[in-house]
Amino acid sequence: MNRNEKVKVDAGGDRWIRRLEIALDPPRLGENTADMDRLFRGIRKALGVRDLSAGLSLIRRIPRILRETKYRVEVLLCEEETGSWRLMDVGPSGRKKTLYGLAVDLGTSTVVVRLVDLESGEARDEVSFLNPQTEIGLDILTRIHYAGRVGGLNRLQDLVVTTLNKEISLLARKHTFAREEIACIVVAGNTTMSHLLLGLDPYWICREPYIPAVNSPPMLRAADVGIRLHPEARILVFPNVGSYFGGDLIAGILASGMTENEELSILVDVGTNAEIAIGTKDWIVACAGAAGPALEGGVADMGMMAGPGAIDSVRIHASGEIAVRTIQNKPPVGICGSGLIDLIAQLYLTGMIDVRGRFVPEKCGARLRETDDGMQSLLIVPSNASGSGQDLVLSQTDIDGLLRSKAAMYTILTTVTRLINVSMEDFRSFYISGTFGSYIDPRSAIAIGMVPDLPLERYKPLGNTSLAGAMEVLLSRNAREEIQTIRSTITYIELNVNQEFMNLFSAARFIPHTDRSLFPSVKG
């Protein structure tokens, strides 16, 4: 009876949000299939699927729409689970509007929202903004404690949802579309940020034995979380492996492509925590350990987060001149993590600091100062060249902080590779994720002994892999399945900070290391 129904299938075979044009045979005496069932039959034929559902409010609208459009409609569909499709909308065909989705990196500090054309798969815009929960507390623990207060969890959720809604409104206005044209939002964030977005109590995340409320959040309606998009728009929040290995890292593993590699590779997310995944297409081992805030430029006197005027690259010329590059070429006001790694590496390579990270007065010359309490510091940018009107100086404390952080990173790498019996030399790819990570010069990171002395071409900065992974999932059913596979494949290792760890840590505090043979390329 329906052999003449024509269906135009779009090209997005791997998409899980799809828009199809469907032309149905109008009903007649002797072929009296009901409106919804007629439409479902057409969609099933177009998609080759059996499992299809719709909500009551949409079903109520179908009879009128079918007659108004003379049975030629455009349907919006979401594959909620493999093979199980949800009818999200029905309207007149040929509207030719863009169908949007959002990929979100929900960071503890920074939230990045990317606007994506779900059909072409292209990014249309991107905005980043401070996670408004920072007004409650900069770090995760403060927010978990705040969530335990009366109304605290609601307030934390409301903060992030309200700001997301506002930023989405601005994007929609800028690109002159209605927020209802956004059909989906995919969010990658650490386990606590994901819980706070969903309004899930994070109480047990930071308490032994460290149990999240959810590992694999179900796909929900964005409206259930308070995010205002298409009324049937879906929200997918990345799964996590546990309290300390979140969806942001699963997104990173996905974006790196390391699970497709035959050869061994490693993904490192450099930050306050060093989060590490090592593996091949057959296995993944992950761990996380405290690396300290120095790597993020958050501790040194002149340290700052990456931003305009932050020194992000340093070269010391033979003349002793310290040449700095700043973000947006603004007059320097501080130094960010990558700049600090560069600076320490250059100081060591020019002999201005020794293997212990101590200033060498005869090399530092007049730049070296000593304060009343006997603390030495080195003038990097004089006040007349700085953007703040203050001298920018590097103190011994700053150096010690960075060396502790880099030692922690290298010790974690050493410990986990020993545990799983692989050699760091076997890493064919060393992926560095995180916006911060993309600015690190691997030569400098090797020079200070933060990362192993591998050929430079193996170092692959990936930028914001949390966002990249979210976008992949937004556009691909296979990627969406892959993150579940990754989640269940990962073996998470708890690092014991025992005596052996502390011994390794002590050795790694030197530049580049007490065992120079590990860093043959570094000429001190």
Q: Is 81 in the site for its own copies (CB under 8 A)?
A: yes
Binding of its own copies by 351 (CB under 8 A): no
- Integer CA distances (angstroms), 473 to 225, 238, 277, 494, in order: 19, 9, 19, 28
Residue 490, SS3 per DSSP = strand
* Smallest distance from its own copies to CB 72, Å: 17
Nearer to its own copies by C-beta: 170 or 214?
A: 214
Least distance from C-beta 260 to its own copies, angstroms? 26
Four-CA torsion 369, 375, 381, 386, nearest 10 degrees: -120
How far apart CA 30 and CA 204 sit, in angstroms, is: 61
218 binds its own copies (CB under 8 A): yes
28 vs 96, beta carbon nearer its own copies: 28
Interacting span for its own copies (CB under 8 A) from 181-189, 215-223, 337-345, 511-519:
215-223
Nearest distance in Å: CB 219, its own copies: 9
Cis-peptide, bond into residue 63, ω within 30° of zero:
no
Instruction: Choose between 236 and 451: whose C-beta lies nearer to its own copies.
Output: 236
Interface residue with its own copies, options 102, 200, 249, 511 (CB under 8 A) = 200
User: Do 246 and 200 contact (CB within 8 A), yes or no?
Assistant: no
Select 30 or 374, whichever has its Cβ closest to its own copies: 30
Choose which of 62, 104, 249, 278 interacts with its own copies (CB under 8 A): 62
The CA-based angle 469-475-476, given to 5 degrees, is 85
210 near its own copies, judged by CB under 8 A = yes
User: What's the DSSP call for residue 495?
Assistant: P
Q: Which two tokens stand for residue 185?
A: 């939002």
DSSP string, 400-435: HHHHHHHHHHHHHHHHHHHHTT--GGG-SEEEEESH
216 vs 485 by CB, closer to its own copies: 216
Asked if residue 13 binds its own copies (CB under 8 A), the reply is no
Q: C-alpha 203: how far from its chain's center?
A: 23
Paired tokens of 349: 């390579």
Gap between the Cα atoms of 12 and 492, Å rounded: 35
Nearest approach in angstroms of CB 288 to its own copies is 13
For its own copies, give the closer residue by CB, 221 or 458: 221
Choice between 245 and 427, CB closer to its own copies: 245
User: How many residues sit close enough to its own copies to count as binding (CB under 8 A)?
Assistant: 48
| Choices 70-78, 220-228, 388-396, 417-425; region in contact with its own copies by CB under 8 A | 220-228
Q: CB of residue 449 vs its own copies: minimum separation in angstroms?
A: 32
Q: Segment contacting its own copies (CB under 8 A): 116-124, 141-149, 193-201, 266-274? A: 193-201
Closest of 312, 300, 257, 293 to residue 433, by C-alpha: 257
**Alpha helices, DSSP H, located in 116-261:** 140-147, 152-174, 191-198, 222-225, 247-256
198 binds its own copies (CB under 8 A): yes
Closest separation in Å from C-beta 158 to its own copies: 15
**Binder to its own copies among 13, 48, 94, 209 (CB under 8 A)?**
209
Compute the least distance from the CB of residue 474 to its own copies, in Å.
20
Shortest CB 455 distance to its own copies, Å: 37
Beta strand 84-92 with 17-23: parallel, antiparallel or unpaired? unpaired
User: For residues 406 and 398, what is the distance between their CA atoms, to the nearest angstrom?
Assistant: 12
Among 107, 189, 242, 461, binds its own copies (CB under 8 A): 242
Is the distance from CB of 42 to CB of 66 less than 8 angstroms? no
- Residue 201 within binding range of its own copies, rule CB under 8 A: yes
Nearer to its own copies, 89 or 296 (CB): 89
Q: Segment 479-498, which members bind its own copies (CB under 8 A)?
A: 492, 494
* Closest of 423, 368, 414, 406 to residue 510, by C-alpha: 406
Shortest CB 213 distance to its own copies, Å: 5
Least Å distance between CB 76 and its own copies? 17
Q: How many CA atoms lie within 13 A of 248 on its CB side?
A: 31
Q: Least Å distance between CB 35 and its own copies?
A: 5
- Amino acid 484 reads Q
Write the binding mask 22 to 61 for its own copies: x where contact by CB under 8 A, - elsewhere: -----xxxxxxxxxxx-------------x-xxxx--xx-
* Cβ 404 vs Cβ 241: under 8 Å: no
- Choose among 512, 128, 170, 198: nearest CA to 355: 512
Which positions lie near its own copies, rule CB under 8 A? 27-37, 51, 53-56, 59-60, 62-64, 81, 84, 198-201, 203-204, 208-218, 220, 224-225, 240, 242-243, 492, 494
